């Protein structure tokens, strides 16, 4: 029973072929594509309004050089939100519970922001490693600490997304199992547990959206430091 709780995080296979590639391609199929008509339907209008508002809020503090990342980060935001939301459906697999996938998204994008900063303004980028006015004796220690914190950033991005989604899925399964077991024994307690499960599911929907937003927001902040 204990091991079965973690079976939901195993990548599904069919005839020995991992199906994670199919689950990663599914979000792009669900979104409607813009048409050449003068007037779009309500769904396309709502989708365009959401993308425009998100892009405006995300890139307003950035310099015009950082606006080149708008398409990439907005697409990543929609991609992560869709994967997280689809993972809440029954009998589905959530790819973003895999640390390897999250690190594969976090490390290249974080590294790209660092490379841009070192190429465009190396003095300013290296200046983050040593705050102004640091006492002479603390300079070596602070440089080591700031360097470690710099390299921990992509790890924090991947682990944060993985840990929040994994904990939520485990909690939902534990409470659902408790409600199912208690139903024939204590129906009243089972109903209260099912109510708690419903509220937790609503919370997980919010967490799925917030974590995708936080992932992209932190990347934009890293970009803001380097452009």
pLDDT digits 0-9 by tens, 49-94: 888 888 888 888 888 888 888 889 999 998 999 999 988 888 888 8
In a domain, 51, yes or no: yes
Query: Residue 20 — very low, low, confident or very high, per pLDDT cuts 50/70/90?
Result: confident
The answer to whether residue 92 sits within a structural domain is yes
30: pLDDT confidence band, cut at 50, 70 and 90? confident
For the chain, give the mean pLDDT.
85
Structural domain includes residue 11: no
Residue 9 domain-assigned? no
Domain count, the chain: 1
User: What's the pLDDT score for residue 22?
Assistant: 79
> What confidence tens digit (pLDDT) does each residue in 178-212 have?
888 888 888 898 899 999 999 999 999 999 999 99
What range defines the domain where residue 191 resides? 20-226
| 35, pLDDT greater than 50 | yes
Residue 208 has what pLDDT?
Answer: 92
Q: What is the pLDDT of residue 121?
A: 83
What is the C-alpha separation between 203 and 207, in angstroms, rounded? 6
Read off the pTM: 0.84
More confident residue, 82 or 12: 82
């Amino acid at each position: 029973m204990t091991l079965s709780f973690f079976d939901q995080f195993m990548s599904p296979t069919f005839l020995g072929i991992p199906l994670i590639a199919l689950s990663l391609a599914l979000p792009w199929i669900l979104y409607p594509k813009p048409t050449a008509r003068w007037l779009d339907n309500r769904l396309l209008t709502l989708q365009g309004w959401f993308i425009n508002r998100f892009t405006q809020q995300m890139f307003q503090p950035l310099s015009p050089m950082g606006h080149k990342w708008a398409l990439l980060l907005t697409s990543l935001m929609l991609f992560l939100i869709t994967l997280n939301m689809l993972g809440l459906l029954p009998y589905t697999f959530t790819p973003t519970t895999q640390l390897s996938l999250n690190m594969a998204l976090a490390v290249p994008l974080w590294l790209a922001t660092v490379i841009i900063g070192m190429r465009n303004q190396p003095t300013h980028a290296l200046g983050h490693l040593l705050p102004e006015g640091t006492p002479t004796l603390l300079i070596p220690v602070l440089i080591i600490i700031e360097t470690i914190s710099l390299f921990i950033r992509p790890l924090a991005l991947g682990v944060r997304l993985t840990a929040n989604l994994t904990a939520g899925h485990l909690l939902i399964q534990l409470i659902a199992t408790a409600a199912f077991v208690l139903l024939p024994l204590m129906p009243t307690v089972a109903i209260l547990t099912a109510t708690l499960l419903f509220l937790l599911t609503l919370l997980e929907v919010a967490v799925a959206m917030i974590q995708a937003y936080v992932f992209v927001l932190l990347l934009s902040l890293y970009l803001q430091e380097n452009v």
